[in-house]
Structure formats: structure tokens, C-alpha cells
Structure 1
Amino acid sequence: MPTLPIPLFGSLVLVFMLVALLRREGQSPLLPALLAACAVQGVIISLAQHYEIGAFRNIQPVSATIIPALAWISFQGTAIRGPRWRLDIWHAIGPLFVLFCLINAPAWLDVSIPILYVGYGSAILLISMQGPDALPRLRLGTGDAPTKIWCIMGLCLIGSAFSDILIVAAQLAGLSAWQPWIISLFSTGILILLGALALSDSLIDPDQSVPLSPVQIDTQLDNDLMMRLDQLMATQRLYLNADLTLTQLARRLHVPIKQLSIAINRKTGENVSRYINAHRINAACESLRTGESVTSAMLSAGFNTKSNYNREFLRKMKMPPSDWIRLNERVHETT
């Protein structure tokens, strides 16, 4: 048994993360709720495993299953469709089933809890792997960062199920003394990692109240839709807004997000994020030609991270910004 309640230390770290998250303006309540649940779970684990309080040993498996359900609700509510509480409440079935198992069939806990973690984690992972267009509520300027973060979150949930498998293996091998160590180290590490990921600026949902339109795909409208989109980009330069989302674009064009996403993909061969970033790179090049610094051109063009700016610049212009500036200067000198 660890001499110090490691999960309790982890909960303290998560509380500081939660305070930082709550200080952000316009923050959706879903991610703070996930972070708070992780912090509470750390306290419960400490009371159950370190202080050996029997009541919390019974609470621990039920409270543990709230986290994957809340992670899924946060994923859906901030990245895809917005909160839908009447639909989301059905995810309480998982914790209620675990409570039923705890009372009537404790042996099922070793199976039901890992299944919930693997199920929710796999669902988040599979959707996130589809790319930025699968997360229409998140800012296009963040590039691939949100998809990578949610992929890692999905893997964390799957990894948590692996810790349950290790516990069962330790019990079968007669190494029950290892159980508190496995729970303390695995749970604390995964909970802190989930909290740190939830704290990322890339997961901010700037458009919390916009419902998504039903999907209606008509390929004959692609050309007209792209003409309207290109005109909107040229006249209103929406790409300069660092908080621009696919949902906002679809609303301005009065079309479902899926139809807009598919039209862009068919006509340009790129996803929505890269389409917008191409316009931003063109705007950045205009600023660089006037003598603006690389950082100033990046910010004025709608990028908010240097890594995404450099990556998109290299992808479109086939060279980093510094080399492009030198090449542009040589062209001017020769003319």
C-alpha cells in the first residue's frame, strides 16, 4: 500500500486545473464538469484504497463509470452537436447498471466497468480519427489539434479499462497486495491526463447555443454552394475570425454542415479546416508583402497558434514563412 494517498494529490492538481478552466470566459460547463468528476474520483479512490473506508469502496465503481459517460457527453456537447440534456440523460444507464451489479451481482463489475470504458473510449476515438470536419463546433483555426486531443482522451479511457484487467490478473495470480498500487498509479495518471487535455484551448466551443441542421446532401448544389462560399470569403473575409467554426459557416450559408463539408471536399479535395486555412495563408502573404512581421501576419490572418500557422504555410507555399519572405524580397529586387 502506498504510504501517501497518490490519488488525493492528483485530485489537488485537478482542482487547480478546474479553477483555471472556470476562469475562461464563455466556457461550456461540460468540460469543467468532466474535470470535477475526475477530481472527485481521486478523492473517492483515496478514501477507499488508502484510508480503507468501506462505504467508499462501494461508491468507487459507480462513480468511476460516470467519467466515461461524462467524457462522451462533453465530446458530443462541445465538438459535435451541442448539449442535448434529454438525450444525454440516457447515459446514466451505465452507472445505474453498475450500481445494480454492485448490489446483486458483484462478479459482473469486473466485466461491465471495462466494457463501458472501452465502449465510450472507442466511440470517441473512431469519430475523432475522421478529422476536423467530424468536429464542426470547434474552431477551424486550431487545425488538427482538437482531433488529436480527443483521440488521446479516447485512448485514456481505453487505457483505464486495461488497469481493471491488470487488477483481475493480479488477483488471479495471488498478488492482491498490488491492487492498491495499480488503482492509485493508473487512476491518478489517467485522471490527471484527462484533466490536462480538457484544459486545452483547442477544445473551446465558441458557439455553444447553435443547433445543428439535419443532414440533406444534394450533389447538384455543390457548384452553387461553393460559389456562394467563395463570394462570402472574398467579401466578408470570415476566415480572419480565429474563432470561426464549421457550424457558423453553415449557418451563414443556410445549409446543413454535412452538405457544406462534402461540397468543399468534392470541389477542393480538402477538408473545411484546410480550405479556410488556405485563405488565411493568402491573407498572411499579403501582410508579409507589406512588411509585417511573421507573428503579426499570423495573428491578423486568423491563426492563433504558431505551430498550425507554420504547418499550413509549409503545406500551401511549400516553404516556411522566413524562406518565403527572402524569396519575395529577391523577386522584388530583380524587378
Structure 2
Amino acid sequence: MLAIPLPFIAGLIFALVLHHSLKGVEAPGSRRYFVAFLILYALQGVVVGLHFGYGVKALAPIQPITASVMPPLAFLAFRGLTDETIPKPWIHLWAPASIALSVAFMQVLVDPLLLVIFLVYGTAIWRLARTSDDEVMAEASLQRMRPALRAARLTAILMFFFALSDVAVAVYAGVAGAEGVPFAVAIMNIVALAATGIYYLLPDPDRTAVSPKASALPDPADAAIVERVTAALGEGELYRDENLSLAKISRKAKIPARDLSSAINRATGLNVSQFVNNRRVGEACRLLDETKQSATAIMLDVGFSTKSNFNREFRRATGMSPRQWRARSKVETTGS
């Protein structure tokens, strides 16, 4: 199987993006599938190392089977970030089962089946992440929603890339022979890694997207939802939870995540993350005015986990930095 090393490289990238996207996630499903993925990745590394590093050819049949499990696990991990249950996850066993049967009885089908598996799950993940709505990644912490969506999109793109490169390598081997295949594979892997780096260096359009303005005549039903959410955030100071997610707010307020997100957007012109951060910034302003705590201590106290996010959201909500806010407060106190 000339193209099997490609899923191994994909495994490394999948592990990185999944780990990056699942920080602050308390969804048991995603964690379970993510752990399974990492275990499989370790197994794949051992198999590939023994096969290509030490010439243990007997392990060659295992490679396509382990490779075929990675796309379903990646999909299930991202699917677990939504606030909907995963129906019949055992159905996804079709991928490794079909590859195992092909390895045993009809090896000519292994490459075409791997192509189908990567395309099917790449499409499924892309459809899952094609929208930027907050509720898509409801189980991710509010500050991880956008990175989770970006990771899902990148994972889908990489699946398409490795599926097509699998075909390209097979065609190249048929035309030019197997001698140049290692070089071709290395070039493809370099392209994939470079694309991954560029993707993460590019600005995230979702971070700079402007939310629609609040309606001039808000729906009373939306106002009622906003009031319930505000009360839920204050109960037990839930807003201080740095791993707070849309799903957690939804459960606390007893409002479906989609309805909650839509109502806040229509009534306030903010997304859920901005709405919660406004509450956090309000408390931060009080602490800056009334205490001598450092801005960093206040940042952590009100629920922010990174200084860049705190400063950005503070400036968005108040028009000034925390340092400027405290200096203004001191001037006003002195002047009075």
C-alpha cells in the first residue's frame, strides 16, 4: 500500500488540531473519542515505525485498518462538541470493517475504500463546521468555539487532501514506477504541513465578524430569554467559570442552545461569547474601581484565561484598556 503513510501523517495533524480544539471541553463523548484517537495514533506510530524503520513486513496489513479508523474518530470527536447526542455511533464501524475484509479477501479494494472513507468523513466534518453559528460547538468553552470550528474545517480540508493525494500517488506509481514514490509522498506531506501552518497564521474571519444590530423593537420572548440567561449567569457566579460553554448556560437556564443563542443575538446584537464577556467586563470594572487587585488577578477572577482575550474584550466593551479604566477611576476619585 504505497499511500498508507499519508494517513499516518494525517494522524499527527489530527491529533494536534483536536487537542487544540478540545481545550476547555467537558463533553464526555468528545473526550472519549479524542482519547481513543490518541491511542490509535500511538499504535499507528508503532506499526509504521516497525514496518518502514525495521522492515517488519508482516505489519503492513494493519496499517490501512488503523488508518481507516482515524476519520470516524475525528468526526465523532467534533460531533460530540454539539449539544445533540450522537445517534448509533457503532454505525461508524463500517469503515474499519470494510477495510479489514478487503485486506483479508480483496486487497485491490483497499485503496478505493480508503479514498471513500476519507472523502465521506471529510464531507461530514465540513458540513458540521460550514456554519459559524455559536451553537455548532455548544460544548466547547466560549473562548474555544472559534478555534474548534477552525480546527474542524482544517481537519476536513486535510482529509480531502490526503484522499486526493492517495489517488495521485497511486497513479504516479502506475505510470512512473515505485522508485519515485517516497519523494512524491514527502512533497505532499510538506505541502500539507505548510498549508496547516498558513491556515493557523491567517486571521480568523469569525473573530472580526460584526454581529447584527439588535432589533429596534425587541421581541418580548427574546427579552425574557435574555433575562433568564442573565439570572443563570449570576446564579453561583456561573459567568466566572473560564470553561463556561453555551451548552452549560443552556442547561442552567433550561433553554435550548439554539434558541438561547438566537434570542441573545436578536435582542442585543451580540453573540453569546460577547454577551457573557460583557458581564465579566462589568465585574472587572467594579474590581478595578473598588480594589487594589492587579489586572491579571482580576482577569482570572472574572473568568478570562488569557490576557489577550481579556484586553480585547475589555476594550470592545468599554473603549479603553484596563489600565486606562483604573487611571480614569483614580482621576475621578481625586477630582471629587
Return the TM-score normalized by structure 2: 0.72
CA contact (8 A) 1:240 1:300 kept: yes
Q: How does 1:187-206 map to 2 (within 5 A)?
A: none
Deviation for aligned residue 1:187:
7.0
Which residue of structure 2 aligns with residue 229 of structure 1? 229
Which residue of structure 1 aligns with residue 32 of structure 2? 29
Which residue of structure 1 aligns with residue 176 of structure 2? 174
C-alpha offsets along residues 112-164 of structure 1, whole Å, 9 cap, x if unaligned?
Answer: 32332233234334433533431111222445333333333333333432441
Does residue 299 of the first structure (1) align with residue 300 of the second (2)? yes
Give distance in 2, aligned partners of 1:67 and 1:189.
Answer: 20
Q: Which amino acid aligns with 1:35?
A: L
Q: Which amino acid aligns with 1:325?
A: R
Q: How does 1:87-166 map to 2 (within 5 A)?
A: 87-103=88-104, 105-131=106-132, 132-142=134-144, 144-166=146-168
CA contact (8 A) 2:135 2:257 kept: no
Moved more, 176-185 or 121-130: 176-185
CA contact (8 A) 2:138 2:145 kept: no
Moved more, 65-74 or 263-272: 263-272
Give distance in 2, aligned partners of 1:143 and 1:280.
Answer: 18
In structure 2, the CA distance between the partners of 1:299 and 1:324, relative to structure 1 (3 Å rule), is same
Which residue of structure 2 aligns with residue 69 of structure 1? 72
Deviation for aligned residue 1:64:
0.5
CA contact (8 A) 1:133 1:273 kept: no
Which residue of structure 2 aligns with residue 201 of structure 1? none
In structure 2, the CA distance between the partners of 1:311 and 1:106, relative to structure 1 (3 Å rule), is farther
- Give the SS at the match of 1:319: coil
Which residue of structure 1 aligns with residue 211 of structure 2? none
In structure 2, the CA distance between the partners of 1:289 and 1:242, relative to structure 1 (3 Å rule), is same
Give distance in 1, aligned partners of 2:277 and 2:185.
Answer: 44
Does residue 38 of the first structure (1) align with residue 41 of the second (2)? yes
Deviation for aligned residue 1:73:
1.3
CA contact (8 A) 1:166 1:182 kept: no
Give distance in 2, aligned partners of 1:234 and 1:67.
Answer: 41
CA contact (8 A) 1:143 1:308 kept: no
CA contact (8 A) 1:232 1:238 kept: yes
In structure 2, the CA distance between the partners of 1:103 and 1:41, relative to structure 1 (3 Å rule), is same
RMSD over equivalenced CA pairs, Å: 3.8
CA contact (8 A) 1:42 1:188 kept: no
- Give the SS at the match of 1:144: helix
Point out where structure 1 has 5 or more consecutive residues left out of the alignment.
Answer: 195-218
Give distance in 2, aligned partners of 1:254 and 1:169.
Answer: 55
C-alpha offsets along residues 40-65 of structure 1, whole Å, 9 cap, x if unaligned?
Answer: 11222233334444432222112101
CA contact (8 A) 1:139 1:244 kept: yes
Does residue 311 of the first structure (1) align with residue 312 of the second (2)? yes
Deviation for aligned residue 1:223:
2.7
Return the TM-score normalized by structure 1: 0.73
Q: How does 1:6-21 map to 2 (within 5 A)?
A: none
In structure 2, the CA distance between the partners of 1:31 and 1:135, relative to structure 1 (3 Å rule), is same
Deviation for aligned residue 1:252:
1.9
Moved more, 88-97 or 98-107: 98-107
In structure 2, the CA distance between the partners of 1:26 and 1:111, relative to structure 1 (3 Å rule), is closer
C-alpha offsets along residues 153-210 of structure 1, whole Å, 9 cap, x if unaligned?
Answer: 333333432441342243144142343455578679989x99xxxxxxxxxxxxxxxx
Q: Which amino acid aligns with 2:221?
A: L
CA contact (8 A) 1:141 1:277 kept: no
RCO higher in structure (CA 8 A, sep ≥6): 1
C-alpha offsets along residues 262-321 of structure 1, whole Å, 9 cap, x if unaligned?
Answer: 211221222212211121111122222233212111101111222322232233233333
Q: How does 1:53-64 map to 2 (within 5 A)?
A: 53-64=56-67
Deviation for aligned residue 1:258:
1.7
Q: Which amino acid aligns with 2:285?
A: C
CA contact (8 A) 2:44 2:63 kept: yes
Give distance in 2, aligned partners of 1:238 and 1:100.
Answer: 51
CA contact (8 A) 1:45 1:184 kept: no
Give distance in 1, aligned partners of 2:105 and 2:262.
Answer: 49
Give distance in 2, aligned partners of 1:185 and 1:40.
Answer: 25
In structure 2, the CA distance between the partners of 1:25 and 1:140, relative to structure 1 (3 Å rule), is closer
